[in-house]
Amino acid sequence: MTQPTLVFLHALGTSAAEWDLVRSHLPDQPCLALDLSGFGARADDGYADVAAMADDLADMVRAHRLTACVLVGHSMGGKIATLVAARAVAGEVGLAGILGVVLVAASPPAPEPINEQRRAEMIGWVADGAVARDDAGAFVDANTARPLPPSLRDRAIADVMRSSREAWLAWLERGANEDWRARVGQITIPTLIVAGGKDGDLGEETQRRLNLPHYPNATVHVVSDAAHLIPYEQPAALAALIAEHVDAVAGAALPVGFAQLLGSERVSARTRAAMLERTRPLSDDASGWSAAQLDMVAALIAHVLPDAGADRALARRIGVAVHGAGDGWRFAALPADPQAWAYGLATLDALTGGFAALSFAEQLDWLTRIDGGEVGIVATADRLSPTQMTLWFQDVRAEIARQWIATPAAMAAIGYDGFAVGGDGPRKQGYSRTAANDLEHWQIAAEVNA
C-alpha cells in the first residue's frame, strides 16, 4: 500500500511554516507544505488569484507524481484545496491520486463570511505598506483562543509581517469574496472538516452551512480549545485527527503504476471520473436496500468472491446498480431487477429462517440447493419459485462479478489496462501491438510498478 502524502496549504498571513508543529507529530508521514504566492518564501511573487493558486496546487500534484495524497487546507488554503478536489472528481489529468481532503477552519467555495468592519480594518493595515508589527500581533491574538507562547507568537507575527501587501489586499478584497459554488458542486472524496470551537467567522456553524453541503462523504470535528489558528494552538490534536483520516482513506490507494496510468492523458476525463467514483464510499441509504438486505448481499458476496469476504461496500455498490439503470437485460421468467432482487432476498430469508445469521457451510448448502432448482416458494406474488430462484441466483453471481471487476482495485489486480486507450485528444490512442505477451511501453510501466 502506498503511504499517502499530506499536502499542506496555509492560511492568509501565514506560510508553510505554520504546519511545522503539526508535522512534528506526524514523523512517519510523507508531507509537502507549500507557500502560496505572496506569502512565506514566495512573498516576492505577489498576488495570484484564486484560480491561479488552484492551478499551482494541481501542477504541484502532477509535478511530484503523487499517486496517493491528502490535501490539507487551512482557511484560505481550504478554498484552494476544495477547488482542486473538485477538479479531481471531474477527472482532470494527473489528479487521480487525491484520496482525501482535510479542511481546517476553511474558507468555503462561497464568499467568505467576515465582519465588514474587521475586513476594512485589515485592509487599512496595509494602506502605507506591509503589515506593521502591532497590527500583525493584533491579527494573531484575535485568531487564537488564548495567547500563544511568546516564541510561537513571534513566529506567527513575523509571517504576517512578511506577507505581500498585494496578496493581502487582493485576498481580502477579491479572493475571499469569489463564489465558486456552482463549479465546485459535489465532491465525493472522503473529507474531514475541522473547526475551532472559538472561531468567530469560520467556526462549526459556517463549516456546516457553507463547506459541508459540498462534501457528502465528510465528517465535522470541533477542536474545543482553539479559535482560527488551530495548527499553532492545538497541533497535537490536529495531527491526531489528520492521521486518523489518512488511515481511513489509505485503503483506496491504487498500485503506483496503475494510478499513474489512470491519471495519464491516455484516459478520458469522463472515464477517469467514473472509475475514481467507484473507489469512494457510499452510504447504506444510497444502496436502496435495508440493513438486513445489505447483510444478505454481503453474505452472498462472500460465497461468490471468497477472497472478498462479506464486502458490505461492494454490496452497497450492487444496490445502486440494481436500483439504478441496471445492466440492460433480465430473464423473461423474472420481474425487473429491483423487484427480482427484493423477491429473491425475501425468498432466501424465508426459506432459511435468516440467511445472514447462518454459518458459512449452512449458507453454502442452501445456495447449492437453489442452484440445483430444488427450493423456492410458489403461489406467492412477492416470492420466487424454485425455477425463478435458480435464474435469480445466476443473475446474482453475474452482478456481483460485474460490479467487482468494474472497480479500479480489481482491474489493477488482474492487470487490465483497456480503459487507457482513449483520452480527450482528437485521436483515440488505442493499442499499437496486439499479440499475446507483446506489451507496449506504457503497459510495461504499469505492470512493473503495480
CATH number at residue 11: 3.40.50.1820
Q: Please indicate, yes or no, whether residues 123 and 41 belong to a single structural domain of this protein.
A: yes
Number of domains in the chain: 3
- The alpha carbons of the chain give a radius of gyration, in whole angstroms, of 26
Q: How confident is the model at residue 428 (pLDDT cuts 50, 70, 90)?
A: confident
Give the cell for residue 232: 499553532
Confidence (pLDDT) at 411: 95
Same domain, 233 and 246: yes
Judge if 300 and 441 occupy the same domain.
Answer: no
Q: Which residues pair with 72 in a beta bridge?
A: 8, 102
With 0-12 CB in 10 A as exposed, 13-18 as middle and 19+ as buried, what is 103? Answer: buried
Are both 189 and 201 inside the same structural domain?
yes
Task: Tell me the per-residue pLDDT of 332-364, one tens digit each, with 9 for 90 and over.
Answer: 999 999 999 999 999 999 999 999 999 999 999
CB of 166 closer than 8 Å to CB of 216: no
Backbone angles phi, psi at 143, to 5 degrees: -110, 15
Q: Are 79 and 192 in the same domain?
A: yes
Q: Where residue 447 falls among pLDDT bands split at 50, 70, 90? A: low
The band of 173, judged by pLDDT with boundaries at 50, 70 and 90, is very high
Do 155 and 33 fall into the same domain? Answer: yes
Q: Is the pLDDT of residue 180 over 90?
A: yes
Query: Region 444-450: what's the mean pLDDT?
Result: 53
Who's near 432: CB < 8 A, 6+ residues apart? 440
Per the rule left: phi > 0, alpha: psi between -120 and 50, beta: everything else, 254 is beta
Answer yes or no: do 265 and 289 share one domain: no
Closest CA to 409 of 311, 341, 299, 300: 311
Q: Does the predicted TM-score (pTM) go above 0.75?
A: yes
- Measured between alpha carbons, how far is residue 437 from residues 259, 411, 448 in Å? 22, 17, 14
Q: Residue holding cell 445489505?
A: 294
Q: Nine-digit cell at 301?
A: 458476496
Name the residue type at position 338. Answer: P
DSSP label of 210: I
Q: C-alpha angle 279/282/285, rounded to 5°?
A: 165
Mean pLDDT for all residues in the chain: 94
Q: How far apart, in whole angstroms, are the C-alpha atoms of residue 384 and residue 363?
A: 18
Residue 35, pLDDT score:
96
Residue 441 has pLDDT above 90, yes or no: no
DSSP letter at 211 equals I
- For residues 240 and 337, membership in a common domain is answered with no
Condensed to tens digits (0 to 9), the pLDDT of residues 34-46 reads 999 999 999 999 8
Looking at the structure, tell me whether residues 435 and 353 fall in a common domain.
no
Picking from 373, 390, 406, the residue at the C-terminal end of a domain is 406
Q: Which whole-number Å values give the CA distances from 180 to 125, 248, 269, 276, 413, in the listed order?
A: 28, 28, 21, 23, 38
Band of residue 444 on the pLDDT scale cut at 50, 70, 90: low
Give yes or no for a contact between 199 and 105, defined as CB atoms under 8 angstroms apart. yes
Largest CA distance in the chain: 88
**CB–CB of 97/69 below 8 Å?**
yes
Same domain for 246 and 293, yes or no, is no
Contact status, residue 303 vs residue 363, Cβ threshold 8 Å: yes
**Average pLDDT for residues 106-120, to the nearest whole number?**
94
Three-state SS at 99: strand
My answer on whether 225 and 84 are in the same domain is: yes
Residues 219, 313 share a domain: no
Q: If you write DSSP's letter for every residue of 344-373 in order, what string do you get? A: HHHHHHHHHTSGGGS-HHHHHHHHHHHHTT
CA distances, 301 to each of 111, 364, 397, 403 (Å): 46, 12, 8, 11
Tens of pLDDT along 248-285?
999 999 999 999 999 999 999 999 999 999 999 998 88
Structural domain that includes position 94 = 5-252
Distances (CA, A) of 142 to 136, 150, 228, 229: 10, 15, 9, 10
Nearest one of 177, 182, 130, 178 to 157, comparing CA atoms: 130
Amino acid at 295: D
